[in-house]
């Protein structure tokens, strides 16, 4: 990282030595600068937190949909039972 950031050696050479593409190395250098506060953007910690929160929202939406569908089914069953004049055994 230091070599790539210092500019003493070309990014392409450093990337080749590390066995990664120059784009990957540039992304790493950019993220290092963001984490150091030298550049605007989301830090590594903020990215991890954002990913975790998005995962939690996805799970909560699924759980809400399951509960909503369950209530709708119960409502339809009760309506059907009322219309047909009988009650299902619990």
How much of the chain exceeds pLDDT 90, in percent?
Answer: 51
Nearest-angstrom CA–CA distance, 80 and 62? 27
Any idea where the domains of the chain sit in the sequence?
2-84
Q: What is the pLDDT of residue 87?
A: 61
Cβ contacts of 5 within 8 Å, gap of 6 or more: 29, 32, 33
Residues 24, 30, 34, CA angle at the centre, nearest 5°? 145
Cβ contacts of 77 within 8 Å, gap of 6 or more: 88
pTM value surpassing 0.75:
no
Q: Do the beta carbons of residue 41 and residue 34 sit within 8 Å?
A: yes
pLDDT in tens, 44-61: 999 999 999 999 999 999
């Amino acid at each position: 990282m230091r070599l790539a950031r210092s500019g003493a050696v070309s990014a392409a050479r450093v990337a080749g030595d590390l066995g990664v593409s120059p784009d990957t190395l540039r992304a790493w250098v950019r993220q290092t600068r963001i984490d150091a506060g030298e550049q605007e953007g989301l830090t590594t910690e903020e990215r991890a937190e954002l990913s975790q929160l998005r995962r939690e929202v996805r799970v909560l939406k699924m759980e809400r949909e399951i509960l909503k569908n369950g209530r709708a089914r119960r409502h339809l069953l009760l309506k059907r039972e009322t219309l047909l004049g009988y009650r299902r055994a619990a």
